[in-house]
Structure 1
Amino acid sequence: MFSSLSKTLLRRPLFLPATLRLISTAAAAPSRPSFTVSYLVNSCGLSPESASSVFNRVVFRTSARPDAVVNVLKSHGFSQSQISRLIGKGPHLLLANPERTLLPKLKYLSSVGFSVSDLANLISASPYLLTRSLEKHLIPNFGRLRDFLGSDKNAVAAIGRSPKILFKGFEATVDPFVKILRDHGVRESSIMWLVKCHSRTMIHWYDRLEGTVEKTKRMGFDDPSAAKFPVAMLAVMAMSESKWERKFDAYGRWGWSRDDAMSAFVKCPRCMTMSEEKIMAVMGFFVNELGFESSFLLQHPRLISMSLEKRIRPRGLVFKHLSSHGLMKTKIGLTTLLTVSDEDFLVKFLTPHIGEVPELLDIYWEKKHMAMGTVVP
């Protein structure tokens, strides 16, 4: 038996070399990860810990291909931190063919309107876009989105907010929630706005969309075709019960009941999407600085959603100064003063009174420049 086994082993000479090859590979292994990890740290900006983790997914013996990939990224405006982020998420891209795999896709995305900075942000956040076929996936899916939204610019904006639209595809991401909204009678312009500006939320909460639409109706928005319906729906979808309670509490500190807050919400859904800090600051300005009752904002909740520093405060102080000189007779005038365009504000409320109250311009522009972070000339 021993003799037979010996002959069998002699007839299989590959057994011993294979064993030696395993031993040789194990002995040589430290030099391979050492080169890869060093490259990831020194050329791609990864931390040693991240580089060690990435090594489990990609190994290379020379820097020729990775150098070519990194150089393409740098030439397209990617910063070191963006390259690190990209490689950390998609290390296999270091072995991609730049001419065949990367450049055509980068050039196409640039051609449809992604700026240098937008493109770098997009790809570093979602590097797997570069693994999709240009002709079979990226071009047709961008085309579907562009046709739906009406322009390349709108499609670029939507993808910038939710890269998943382009990565997963229009039919897998946008079509499902658009169908639900149409079935419930949401107007087309509102659907387009949701696709352009809030696709990330709509895609993420798709399984709750039917229930959200019905809940929004029960809260007083019984006409889904109304322009304010999608804003209310987003508020209902995005806010937990605890957030709603915090908003009720913020308004309650200024004398509003829960019914008051819900009444304001139905008039202007955005008033419930503001942070508690914003609610307190706006209420404080109207009540403490302008001397209004909080009930004024209950009648005009739209004002709560405006920028305090860029619009409410500069214009509100002009209103206060005009009132102190007897040039603004009613509080109702404040709503017009706050809601008109900048041009109309200057023409209707500043210019006519410069002769009587020349300091008005200084009051307005000082606050305006402070809000914009610029130096008063």
Structure 2
Amino acid sequence: MFSSLSKTLLRRPLFLPTTTLRLISTATSTSTSTSNPPSFAVSYLVNSCGLSPESALYVSNRVAFETSARPEAAIKVFKSYGFSQSQISRIIGRGPRLLVASPEKTLLPKLKYLCSVGFSGSDLANLITGSPHLLTRSLEKHLIPNFGRLRDFLRSDQNAVAAIRRSPRILVKGFEATVDPFVKVLRDNGVRESSIVWLVQCHSRRMINWYDRLKEIVEKTKRMGFDDPSAAKFAVAMLAVMGMSESVWERKFDAYSRWGWCRDDALSAFVKCPRCMMISEEKIMAVMGFYVNEMGFESSYLLQHPRLISMSLEKRIRPRCLVFKQLSSHGLMKKKICFTTLLTISDEAFLVKFVTPHIGEAPELLDIYREKKHMGTGALVP
């Protein structure tokens, strides 16, 4: 029996495999760490800053503090600028170094500068919450010169703030790294300067994201019938080409085909008014249905005037068309009007031309117009 036992022991390894030892070591260390009380930093981050235990551990591994003095000083600065507790928690989670940053040297100078150029209230809080690393960049070497370049390009602080609000990356990464490259492509391809300024102000995020394919987008837009990049509508058409997959294009062609348009008709309308292909299929059906079924338009008329399709059904088309119907029913339309004029003039001009002069004979006009516009304010379709 002893001999058999000895042979068995000899056949088995005297040492456990490395993998097994590693697993045991990991389990032991985990067990030990979970049994130890959390550090002051972790407890403070969970109890006073609202972080989850996982986030608190992440932050505590990146910044060291043994008292609450430094963190509370930073938090006090954020609160003084109107940041909510949840926003402060997100900032700490995404930018741990800011929790121990010097209020006087790091936080306050940059927050004051951003306020001075036009960021305030919720705009400032949203900017920093979404991009907390802005506050780690140099004020003199990064923030001021990059905001200045954007301001000079867009010609005002207000326009620069609007652009950064839509794409904070411009200020985080810098003008040269984000805006310069796609502006060069657009200029090299003959896109008009006013359109480039508009794209920088309103659509920088998309232009930056699509930079690698921008030349391809420009060429595809030209092939779809926009052979003059200097035309104002070229930039809008480019956004449409950029933003829709082939399957989405097909769905919109199909929507228009239900109203008698062939594919070439839809492309012709797109060349006249790019926005008519940028609306949803649901809106195409709703707007075309209103014009054809309720107003008696021929779909061929809309093919000649596709701009009428891209307008808001609830905020503009329906209120103005109902006023027109009311005027007609009272015999107040003395002369034929152009529907493009009826629907494209400003709200103020519409009231002066079609409502105010007829209040005596049709006092309900103003109520109809205001009621329908008010109902349209909460519409899902823009």
- Specify if TM > 0.5: yes
Could you tell me how far apart the structure 2 residues matched to 1:235 and 1:330 are? Answer: 38
Write out the 4+ residue segments of structure 1 that deviate beyond 6 Å after TM superposition: 26-29
Instruction: Give the deviation of 1:49 after TM superposition.
Output: 4.1
- What secondary structure does 1:60 align onto? coil
Change (3 A) 1:110 1:331: same
Say if 1:276 and 1:35 are closer, same or farther in 2 by CA, change over 3 A. Answer: farther
Look up the equivalent residue of 1:238 and give its one-letter code: G
From 63, 67, 74, the equivalent of 2:72 is 67
Quick one: structure 1 residues 258 and 41, their matched pair in 2 at CA, closer, same or farther if it must change by over 3 Å? farther
Aligned partner of 1:324 among 325, 329, 336: 329
Farther-moved stretch of structure 1 (288-297 vs 300-309): 288-297
User: In the alignment, is residue 149 of structure 1 matched against residue 130 of structure 2?
Assistant: no
Cross-structure match for 2:143 = 138
**Against the structure 1 CA distance between its residues 151 and 234, is the aligned structure 2 distance closer, same or farther, given a 3 Å change threshold?**
same
**Residues 230-249 of structure 1: per-residue CA shift (max 9 Å, x gap):** 00001111111122122222
Q: Which residue of 2 aligns with 1:45?
A: 50
Report the CA distance between 1:335 and its aligned residue: 1.6
Alignment of structure 1 residues 233-248 onto 2, 5 Å: 233-248=238-253
Alpha carbons of structure 1 residues 27 and 291: separation in structure 2 relative to 1, 3 Å: closer
Distance 1:113 1:248 in 2: 43
Q: Which residue of 2 aligns with 1:164?
A: 169
Which amino acid counterpart does residue 176 of structure 1 have in structure 2? P
Match of 1:194 among 189, 196, 199: 199
1:284 aligns with 2:281: no
Equivalent runs, 1:277-356 vs 2, <5 Å: 277-328=282-333, 333-356=338-361
Give the whole-Å Cα distance in 2 for the aligned partners of 1:248 and 1:96.
Answer: 56
CA contact (8 A) 1:319 1:334 kept: no
Matches within 5 A, 1:204-215: 204-215=209-220
DSSP 3-state at the match of 2:338: helix
Q: Which amino acid aligns with 1:237?
A: M
Partner of 1:114: 119
Q: 2:86 and 2:288 mapped to 1: Cα distance?
A: 41
Which deviates more from structure 2 when the two are superposed, residues 234-243 or residues 332-341? 332-341
CA contact 1:45–1:84 (8 Å) conserved in 2: yes
Structure 2 counterpart of 1:151, which letter? S
| 2:173 matches 1:173 | no
Q: What is the CA-CA distance between 1:42 and the residue it aligns to?
A: 3.0
The DSSP-based 3-state class of the residue aligned with 1:228 is helix
Q: Which of these residues, 96, 99, 102, is aligned with residue 104 of structure 2?
A: 99
Specify whether residues 254 and 159 from structure 1 end up closer, same or farther in structure 2 by C-alpha distance, changes over 3 A only.
same
Q: How does 1:361-376 map to 2 (within 5 A)?
A: 361-372=366-377
Q: Which amino acid aligns with 1:278?
A: K
* Cα 1:245–1:365 shift into 2, 3 Å: same
Match of 1:76 among 62, 69, 81: 81
Residue 362 of structure 2 is aligned to residue 357 of structure 1: yes
- List runs of 5+ in structure 1 lacking aligned partners: 1-22
Q: Shift of residue 51 of structure 1?
A: 3.2
Deviations along 1:139-180, one digit per CA (max 9) or x if unpaired, are 011111111111111111111111111111111111111111
Query: How far 1:330 moved relative to its partner?
Result: 8.0
Cα offset, 1:326, TM superposition:
3.8
Partner of 1:185, secondary structure, is: coil
CA distance in 1, matches of 2:333, 2:218: 43
Distance change (3 Å), C-alpha of 1:330 and 1:251: farther
